Structure 1
């Protein structure tokens, strides 16, 4: 990151997550430009330039924004019960986020004249460009009422009806240590170090008030909000979510993604709901499965990504030509009363599970205006009969209410909720 007056040199050709062996994501790297609100400009030149995505707007960036290549997602527990302290933290986080998304260091930067004090910025992004960094915050159910039923911050009566406790789905094997959270921050960028730097600085600023509950690194975007481009592939080698909502489709965003003032609480108007699911893939079993069975499981041709019986990826699928258990058939809006969600998923690899198997899969992120007619009915249908269930398992889960965007420098994350 640069300071207010400095000029950043060219970004390093950083391929992997600093020795974590995640160079696999390079194959999925795509060009997509900055987007404000629901807009998106799908041009490689802007992505390569390290451009900044505008921070202020009616909606938070990082939802309809053209999907970046890398992710660092963190869920936080709030460790203070002081409402004033939480508000002060949200204000400080907002200021830091506004600076980092524009390629600037936090506060006085990583190097200052006061050598006896810790610097305001951790410094690992010095010299790096903004890399289309977006920071998107969400509020979990336990922020409104904690696990003991306590209203710590005087906002229990402002919890949205749609911010439900997600039901248990057949086949779930959820790890409490990788689920839930009072707050979440989704950091997306084209440079992994820029994304990690952002979460690290927010955690540092919040020390004593919040603690990271769990986090997830992601690479190789598996969804696109610029559907005129090719759909990326997941770790199973298939294209999925071809009919994702476009960041430029204002009508679809209004209908399926943004919360309206009529359908939800006033403080959430212009916001959304985020479902985060960590989905472990049984890679070794999948890799020993025949190509025909793989294609039958998804209902797609593996090479082109075309629906079975069709020639091209974006051909309208003939659902009846697929097996009743095909993933595409079961997940399609026509099979779910027209339900649609905006997906921003990423692949992950987190070493091995101790038994010689790769701990890898999909970190599923989905935005919608109401999970009760979005994610929940779709997941219920998939959990019952999807052939893909033989090869995957949901091991982490969380739901967050995502407030609207920050309007200007005097606004802050969650202001309407706490006002």
Structure 2
């Protein structure tokens, strides 16, 4: 009897949140005829990312609120159109398996400079409506020639699909100004996803992600802002994006023994199970300590500080020294940027005295290891409904 082949889940195009953040996601319940134990361990509630990602950053050249509204309305319509398009049949070869969907998502985020420029200009009178935690990404230990202030942009546009050329087409429309002339593209980063989520050195990334509907708390509890969260009203249903482009110096890492590689991550490479005992500065221990029965001075448990990882990987060839330019685009989504993302990064991962004095920083960022070479903070508003556009609640 032939093995069952599961059709990948589709993005949620009609929900209250922008597609491409907590979806596509495998249903919590196993389909009929599928082994429930295997499905529960490997699929249920898990993100099933599209195969390709383009991270496009851009600034806004609009000068008035009316021009900004026109830009946002046009960009919203463009995103909707690209996600609704059906692959044309006349371009498919007659003996290939028909392509029914390329699972396209276009998610738009606002940077802090849209509300107040680096020079402090409240050009659109939006400073009072800025999301509570949104700011220019701070400099941290591990940044290598990357100065977040110099890379802060008004917009980020996450383009994901199963077809690289679809992503390129959408990027081209943005880059050449055919979507809207006031969108000035600053950069584009390209990434790819492995179905098993293993990063370039073979370890699984995002293994501790909260899942959707597979436990007492779904991933939505960690990701999307609620009315009671103390944010401006228009932020409800949105989420924060912390994006870092992380370079992995693979030659240095592969020179380590298999045991030393596992010690850096603090997990078994094949299974992802934590090593016991493990080094206090191992990556898993530093970014996700999981201390039992521990509540910090803000009365939060370690697991309450989780965020959703949506990793994609990159291979940009060789640098000037002939070394590989490889690593991952680390897309992290959180309901509370400070409590869920900055706390684990600043108080745990980069704190040399956590979990005890003299521990040192995350072993993954040791000499010659990982380095942050790009990124930024953004706010992803809720999906636009009806005739609304993204950010309608800003009151422009």
TM range (shorter): 0.7 to 0.9
- Which position in structure 2 is the counterpart of 1:327? 283
- Among residues 164, 167, 171, which one is paired with 2:135 in the alignment? 164
Report matched runs for 1:303-382 at 5 Å.
Answer: 303-309=270-276, 321-332=277-288, 334=290, 337-338=302-303, 339-380=305-346, 381-382=348-349
User: By how many angstroms is 1:146 displaced?
Assistant: 0.5
Any conservation in 2 of the 1:97–1:135 contact (CA below 8 Å)?
A: yes
- Among residues 18, 23, 27, which one is paired with 1:60 in the alignment? 18
Any conservation in 1 of the 2:288–2:302 contact (CA below 8 Å)?
A: no
Structure 2 CA distance, aligned partners of 1:202 and 1:379?
33
- Which position in structure 1 is the counterpart of 2:152? 180
Structure 2 CA distance, aligned partners of 1:44 and 1:190?
16
Gaps of 5+ in 1: 1-42, 106-126, 222-229, 310-320
Structure 1 CA distance, aligned partners of 2:162 and 2:370?
28
- Among residues 103, 110, 113, which one is paired with 1:139 in the alignment? 110
Any conservation in 2 of the 1:280–1:394 contact (CA below 8 Å)?
A: yes
Normalization by structure 2: what TM-score?
A: 0.78
Any conservation in 2 of the 1:299–1:329 contact (CA below 8 Å)?
A: yes
User: By how many angstroms is 1:182 displaced?
Assistant: 0.3
Moved more, 376-385 or 166-175: 166-175
1:388 aligns with 2:344: no
> For the aligned residues, what is the CA RMSD?
2.4
Any conservation in 2 of the 1:56–1:406 contact (CA below 8 Å)?
A: no
Any conservation in 1 of the 2:138–2:148 contact (CA below 8 Å)?
A: no
1:283 aligns with 2:250: yes
1:411 aligns with 2:384: no
- Equivalent position SS for 1:359: strand
Any conservation in 1 of the 2:136–2:148 contact (CA below 8 Å)?
A: no
Report matched runs for 1:27-106 at 5 Å.
Answer: 44-46=6-8, 53-66=11-24, 67-104=49-86
1:151 aligns with 2:160: no
Q: Per the alignment, do residues 216 and 247 of structure 1 end up closer, same or farther by CA in structure 2, a change over 3 Å counting?
A: farther
Gaps of 5+ in 2: 25-48, 88-97, 292-300, 352-360
Any conservation in 1 of the 2:139–2:148 contact (CA below 8 Å)?
A: no
Normalization by structure 1: what TM-score?
A: 0.74
User: By how many angstroms is 1:418 displaced?
Assistant: 3.4
Count of matched residue pairs: 333
- Equivalent position SS for 2:228: coil
Q: Per the alignment, do residues 75 and 180 of structure 1 end up closer, same or farther by CA in structure 2, a change over 3 Å counting?
A: same
User: By how many angstroms is 1:169 displaced?
Assistant: 1.5
1:260 aligns with 2:260: no
- Which position in structure 2 is the counterpart of 1:197? 169
Residue by residue over 1:320-365, the C-alpha shift from the partner in whole angstroms, topping out at 9 and shown as x without a partner, is x211011111222625732110111111011211110111111100
